[in-house]
């Protein structure tokens, strides 16, 4: 069996303001202890390397929260370990999520000097009123300037997060957002429909969202604009020029392994053919005080592995091959298909000989994934 690729996820849990649609593990704080947090990250990385071995990382991703709040110097100890132990090199994709409302030229240059080579900028919209409804702390100009300053700092790979189906949004406004990204020459876009999640302000006080007719018009029109940009729809909400696909997210979707550092971070590691899930304490204060230091761990039931794998991989337009499915789960793909996906086959939602959604299955992906639950 080939070695399963491994990535690293690092969670930075703080934000200046909690957005009303956000259900991520993020916490408002004015003066977080970033230096202490950086030290805690290095402690957990060393512990994981001791337990799971020093496998070089295919990719590293700093998510949040708002990672662009964290000064580069407080990430230096972590990068020192990554470099000293040869866990990263110049070919490693290293991404940091950035909020245009926290743009700082010094931070951008510092991140680039550390070895971070890709930014994922949380624009969400270029419309002033939409940004206000979404509770964002930046304006349209901030986003444009951040893209320009990122390129000046040496970042050649930039993703923009754009949201559609937001309160009161028309298809024309969504088109305007995508056309702005087109004008900026962006080669990777995460374009996704807003959903109301539990434990959010919008769940407690739901806004009025666009109707189904508007959503359908938005998706059709938006898809045409993305295609005109030369972007390939390679994952259900990800579009990229060929070769610019996100390596880190591809590793998730292909059911690769990853270590998870930081408050609330999750990990997945294959140990002797079994899949181990790890979870760290969620609250940043507890994490900093090293309460319950070390991640909670549990092995995934073999009966659940196939469903877990396909819940990720069917999001990819290319799906996952039978040999890769077997490599990542240890399961017989044909037997799994007969046991769990006969209805999907009868409805014409899957391609033969591999786990890949048909055009019909792609349009009804949620229905297809529900069959796995």
On whether both 14 and 95 belong to a single domain, the answer is yes
Q: Is residue 101 part of a domain?
A: yes
On whether both 112 and 203 belong to a single domain, the answer is yes
Q: What is the number of structural domains in the chain?
A: 2
Report the CATH number that the domain containing residue 25 is assigned in CATH.
3.80.30.20
On whether both 209 and 339 belong to a single domain, the answer is no
3-state SS of the chain is CCCCCEEEEEEECEECCCCCCCCCCCEECCCCCHHHHHHHHHHHHHHHHHHHCCCCEEEEEEEECCHHHCCHHHHHHHHHHHHHCCCCCCCCEEEEEECHHHCCHHHHHHHHHHCCCEEEEEEECCCHHHHHHCCCCCCHHHHHHHHHHHHHCCCCEEEEEEEECCCCCCHHHHHHHHHHHHHCCCCEEEEEECCCCCCCHHHHCCCCCCCHHHHHHHHHHHHHHHHHCCCEEEECCEEECCCCCCHHHHHHHCCCEEEEECCCCEEEEEECCEEEEEECCCCHHHHHCCCCCCCEEEECCHHHHHHHHHHHHCCECCCECHHHHHHHHCCCHHHHHHHHCHHHHHCCCECCCCECECHHHHHCHHHHHHCCC
Q: What is the pLDDT of residue 290?
A: 83
For 154-163, write each residue's pLDDT tens digit. Answer: 999 999 999 9
Average pLDDT, whole number, for the chain? 95
On whether both 246 and 360 belong to a single domain, the answer is no
On whether both 236 and 312 belong to a single domain, the answer is no
Q: Is residue 122 part of a domain?
A: yes
On whether both 42 and 162 belong to a single domain, the answer is yes
Average of per-residue pLDDT across 12-16: 95
Report the CATH number that the domain containing residue 305 is assigned in CATH.
1.10.10
Confidence of residue 2 (pLDDT cuts 50, 70, 90): low
On whether both 309 and 193 belong to a single domain, the answer is no
Average of per-residue pLDDT across 298-303: 93
Q: Is residue 268 part of a domain?
A: no
Q: Is residue 292 part of a domain?
A: no
On whether both 346 and 204 belong to a single domain, the answer is no
Residue 1: pLDDT over 50: no
Instruction: Write down which residue in 232, 251, 270 finishes a domain.
Output: 251
Of 1-5, 143-147, 204-208, give the lowest mean pLDDT range: 1-5
On whether both 169 and 34 belong to a single domain, the answer is yes
Instruction: Write down which residue in 251, 275, 293 finishes a domain.
Output: 251
On whether both 99 and 224 belong to a single domain, the answer is yes
Confidence of residue 29 (pLDDT cuts 50, 70, 90): confident
On whether both 242 and 317 belong to a single domain, the answer is no
For 265-281, write each residue's pLDDT tens digit. Answer: 999 999 998 999 999 99
Q: Is residue 280 part of a domain?
A: no
Q: Is residue 293 part of a domain?
A: no
Residue 203: pLDDT over 70: yes
Domain that holds residue 367: 301-373
Q: Is residue 51 part of a domain?
A: yes
On whether both 241 and 315 belong to a single domain, the answer is no
Q: Is residue 282 part of a domain?
A: no
Q: Percent of the chain beyond pLDDT 70?
A: 99
Instruction: Write down which residue in 251, 273, 292 finishes a domain.
Output: 251
């Amino acid at each position: 069996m080939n070695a399963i690729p491994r990535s690293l996820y690092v969670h930075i849990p703080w934000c200046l303001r909690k957005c009303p649609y956000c259900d991520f593990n993020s916490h408002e704080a004015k003066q977080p202890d970033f230096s202490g947090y950086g030290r805690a990250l290095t402690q957990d990385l060393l512990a994981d390397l001791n337990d799971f071995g020093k496998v070089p990382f295919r990719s590293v991703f700093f998510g949040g929260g708002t990672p662009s709040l964290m000064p580069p110097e407080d990430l230096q100890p972590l990068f020192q370990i990554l470099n000293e132990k040869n866990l990263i090199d110049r070919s490693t994709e290293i991404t940091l999520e950035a909020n245009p409302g926290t743009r700082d030229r010094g931070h951008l240059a510092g991140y680039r000097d550390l070895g971070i080579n890709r930014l994922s900028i949380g624009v969400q919209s270029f419309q002033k009123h939409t940004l206000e409804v979404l509770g964002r702390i930046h304006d349209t100009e901030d986003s444009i300037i951040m893209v320009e300053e990122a390129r000046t700092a040496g970042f050649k790979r930039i993703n923009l997060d754009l949201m559609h189906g937001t309160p009161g949004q028309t298809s024309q406004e969504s088109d305007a957002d995508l056309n702005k990204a087109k004008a900026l020459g962006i080669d990777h876009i995460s374009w996704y429909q807003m959903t109301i999640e539990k434990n959010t302000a919008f769940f407690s006080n739901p806004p009025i969202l666009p109707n189904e007719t508007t959503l359908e018009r938005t998706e059709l029109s938006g898809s045409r604009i993305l295609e005109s940009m030369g972007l390939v729809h390679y994952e259900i909400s990800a579009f990229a020029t060929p070769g610019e696909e996100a390596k880190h997210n591809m590793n998730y979707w292909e059911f690769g392994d990853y270590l998870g550092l930081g408050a609330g971070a999750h990990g997945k590691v294959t140990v002797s053919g079994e899949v181990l899930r790890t979870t760290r304490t969620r609250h940043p204060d507890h994490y900093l005080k090293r309460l319950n230091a070390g991640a909670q761990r549990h092995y995934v039931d073999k009966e659940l592995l196939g469903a877990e794998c396909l819940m990720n991989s069917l999001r990819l337009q290319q799906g996952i091959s039978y040999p890769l499915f077997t490599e990542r789960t240890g399961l017989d793909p044909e037997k799994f298909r007969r046991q769990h996906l006969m209805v999907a086959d009868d409805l014409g939602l899957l391609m033969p000989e591999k786990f890949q959604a048909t055009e019909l299955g792609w349009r009804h992906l949620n229905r297809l994934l529900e069959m796995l639950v």
